[in-house]
Chain A
Amino acid sequence: MAKDKALVELLYTLADDDFILAYRGSEWLGLAPHIEEDVAYSSINQDMMGHAAKYYQILEELGEGDADELSHLRSPDKFRNAVLLEEKNGEGTYLEQPNYDWAFAVVRNYFYSIHKKVRLESLRKSNYEPLSDAAKKISIELQYHLMHWETWFKQLMMSSDEAKRRMGEAVEHCWNEMDGIISLGPFADEMVEKGYVASEASMREKWLDHMKKTFEQIGAELPGELGMTKGNGRQGEHTEDLTQALKTLSEVYETNPAAGW
């Protein structure tokens, strides 16, 4: 089979989005607001890492190379995740002074999960069978993530003044980068023409419909236009935050690729 660039790029997009957000989520381990949240959030991250692994496995079957190497040894410019998903959790690191922002964690995960749902709905009907099979399995698991993040989102948006202020800031931040998640990158037209995935425009509309409903329910004002201010990860544009994340997460693998863990 001749190399189908559009398909491969789409799979990297799907894999890298889940992979890098699961990594950022894992940095919260032991730091979440309470112990039940620690259990829940790490379970969600484990699921998301599993989803990424599934997509990397499909890439491996397409001849892109070993799944472990795809996740651990590619350089940052080869990653196709959206920039919003690679951003640090806040100031400090998980080892030193982790002044992480829980509002940002909730909003980023909620916005992403809604888009993931919209995207998976189209992938379930994808012309590429391994992808539609994977999407059917993953959507079942996502259902629980959505219930979780929607609860947090709505409760904090209607909570104390400080919570509302911080959530407002996180919403503005994520809203300004959301187009980077919705983007399908330079091969968008081909991906849609070949029936692999729905168009950006239709997915944006569905995502906004979900948001309108949610914001109405909690009596909050919907922000204006979506944006993408820090570059398009779908064409390899990334921030220093991705370089840092990849360096940290691949440290063990690079030390000894043969180690079992």
Chain B
Amino acid sequence: MTGIESKQLVDSVYQVLQHVTDPEIDSVSIIDLGMIEHVEMSGSAATVSVLPTFTGCPALDIIQRDIVNAVIEVDGVEEVEVIFPSKPIWTTDRITDQGKEQLKEFGISPPPANHTPGEPWEIPCPYCGSLYTTMENLFGPTACRCILYCRSCKNPFEAMKPVANIGDE
């Protein structure tokens, strides 16, 4: 196989990965969530490196299965391996602009672009954009989300927790 053919295969793999979603946020592809670190082809064998959002995320097994099922359908791919490297660490700044828009459509306020761990952050309502919101629960239905309430449009909504690398003290 030539380098160009291999590059085309990698592109095809990325294309099908656009349709693989986190089962708990199914409006956003795992690419837009910033979970795909790397795709590599060795002959007809694909290796997909995936970064978990949270260590104990129970959706990982399902995401792994969905990736295998999607990528194996690509012409020229005979084998698929999904690996979860321990670095780099997934951070919320990996979420693409499109991903942030799609999170809002799902009723989830995307995390701020820059955030110092441990500090408070402003969370606009995904429905009306108001900043007049209150945190009801730092934790939510999944590890990566929290629960808020918008005092302007009176809607409950969720937000993604900011996840950023912590510097050494």
The residues of A that contact B147 with a CB separation of less than 8 Å are 36, 39
Within 8 A of B (CB), among A232-249: none
Please determine whether A43 and B139 come into contact, CB atoms closer than 8 angstroms. yes
> Are A43 and B55 touching (Cβ within 8 A)?
no
Which residues of A have CB within 8 Å of B118? 143, 147
- Structural contact, A134 and B54, CB atoms closer than 8 A: no
The CA of A138 and the CA of B136, in the complex, are separated in Å by 24
- Asked whether, in the complex, the Cβ of A47 is within 8 Å of the Cβ of B54, the reply is yes
How many A-B residue pairs have C-beta atoms within 8 angstroms? Tell me: 71
List residues of A (118-163) whose CB comes within 8 Å of B's CBs: 121, 124-125, 130, 133-134, 136-141, 143-144, 147-148
Tell me which of A46, A136, A144, A148 contacts B89 (CB under 8 A).
A136
B87 lies within 8 A of A144 (CB): no
Is B138 an interface residue, CB under 8 A from the partner?
A: yes
The answer to whether A47 and B168 have CB atoms under 8 Å apart is: no
Indicate with 1 or 0, residue by residue over B128-169, a CB within 8 angstroms of chain A CB atoms: 000000001111111100010000000000000101111011
Q: If the complex has contacts A36-B137, A43-B140, A140-B117, are A124 and B56 also in contact, measured as CB distance less than 8 A? A: no
**Chain B binding site: helix, strand, loop or mixed by DSSP?**
loop
| Residues of chain A within 8 A of B42, CB atoms compared | none
Closest to A50 in B: B56
Q: A140 contacts B164, CB within 8 Å?
A: yes
B50 to chain A, nearest CB (A): 14
How far, in whole Å, are A48 and B141 apart by their CA atoms in the complex? 16
List chain B residues, Cβ under 8 A from A40.
Answer: 137-139
Q: Does A54 lie at the interface of the complex (its beta carbon under 8 Å from any beta carbon of B)?
A: yes
In the bound complex, CA of A44 to CA of B138 (Å) = 11
Q: A39-B141, A136-B89, A137-B86 are in contact. Are A143 and B55 (CB under 8 A)?
A: no
**Majority secondary structure, A binding face:** helix
The verdict on B57 contacting chain A, using a C-beta distance below 8 Å, is: yes
* A36 nearest CB neighbor, chain B only: B137
A53 pairs with B56, CB closer than 8 A: yes
A88 adjacent to chain B (CB < 8 Å): no
Specify which of A47, A49, A147 lies most central, judged by the most chain B CB atoms within 10 Å of its CB: A47
A80 within 8 A of B: no
A120 to chain B, nearest CB (A): 9
From B55, B58, B86, B168, A141 is in contact (CB under 8 Å) with B55
Q: How far is the CB of B22 from chain A (nearest CB, A)?
A: 16
A124-B168, A143-B117 are contacts. A51–B56 as well, Cβ < 8 Å?
A: yes
Residues of B within 8 A of A140 (CB): 89, 117, 163-166
A175–B166 CA distance with the chains assembled, in angstroms: 29
Residues of the A chain whose Cβ atoms lie less than 8 Å from the Cβ of B56: 46-51, 53
Chain A 176-226 residues near chain B, CB threshold 8 A: none
Contacts A130-B86, A144-B161, A147-B118 given: A138-B55 contact, CB under 8 Å? yes
Q: What B residues does A144 contact at CB under 8 A?
A: 138-139, 161
Complex formed: what's the CA distance from A134 to B52 in Å? 12
Interchain CB contact under 8 A, B136 and A47 = no
In angstroms, how far is the closest chain B Cβ from the Cβ of A195?
15
B168–A54 contact, CB under 8 A?
no
CB–CB A44/B139 < 8 A? yes
Are B165 and A133 interface neighbours, CB within 8 A? no
A138 to B29, CA, bound (A): 25
CB neighbours (8 Å) of B138 from chain A are 40, 144, 147-148
Give 9 nearest A-B pairs by CB, closest first.
A50-B56, A40-B139, A50-B55, A43-B139, A133-B86, A36-B137, A46-B56, A47-B56, A133-B87
Besides A40-B139, A49-B56, A148-B139, 4 other A-B contacts (C-beta < 8 A): A39-B139, A47-B143, A125-B168, A139-B166
Binding site for A on B (CB under 8 A): 54-58, 86-87, 89, 117-118, 136-143, 147, 161, 163-166, 168-169
A-B contact pairs, 13 of them (CB 8 A): A36-B136, A39-B137, A43-B140, A46-B58, A46-B143, A47-B54, A47-B55, A47-B56, A53-B55, A121-B169, A125-B168, A136-B165, A140-B89
